[in-house]
């Protein structure tokens, strides 16, 4: 399913759902970062995440957005795996 309606001020249902996905991913990443033990690492990761999302916030190309969400989820899983290993 493709999102049409670029140039409109309101979001199409598809764009709305995509935006929800992005926000959900951002929240999950920030939540995972809270688990990082070292304050300095936490700050670095938080700044990194904020910058990545800010840098891509005006992306409109559907395939690119889907790819970025997938990439973000993989990075989140990697972070969660690393944190789990650190705890064990």
Model pLDDT for residues 4-53, shown as the tens digit of each residue: 555 556 888 888 899 999 999 999 999 999 999 999 999 999 999 999 99
Residue 76 Cα to chain centre, angstroms: 8
Residue 7 is assigned to a structural domain of this protein: no
* 44 in any annotated domain: yes
- 2 in Cβ contact with 14 (< 8 Å): yes
Number of domains in the chain: 1
Does any domain span residue 5?
no
Q: Which of 58, 73, 77, 52 is nearest to 19 (CA)?
A: 58
* 4 is a domain residue: no
* Residue at 1 is within a domain: no
Task: Provide the whole-model pTM.
Answer: 0.84
Domain contains 8: no
* The predicted structure's pLDDT at residue 13: 87
Determine the structural domain holding residue 64 and report its residue range.
Answer: 13-87
pLDDT of residue 1: 47
């Amino acid at each position: 399913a493709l999102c049409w309606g670029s140039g409109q001020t309101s979001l199409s249902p598809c764009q709305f759902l995509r935006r929800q996905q992005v926000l959900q991913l951002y929240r999950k990443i920030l939540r995972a970062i809270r688990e990082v033990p070292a304050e300095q690492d936490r700050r670095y990761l938080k700044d990194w995440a904020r910058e990545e999302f800010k840098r891509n916030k005006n992306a409109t190309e559907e395939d690119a957005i889907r790819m970025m969400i997938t990439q973000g989820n993989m990075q989140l899983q990697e972070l969660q795996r690393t944190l789990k290993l650190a705890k064990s």
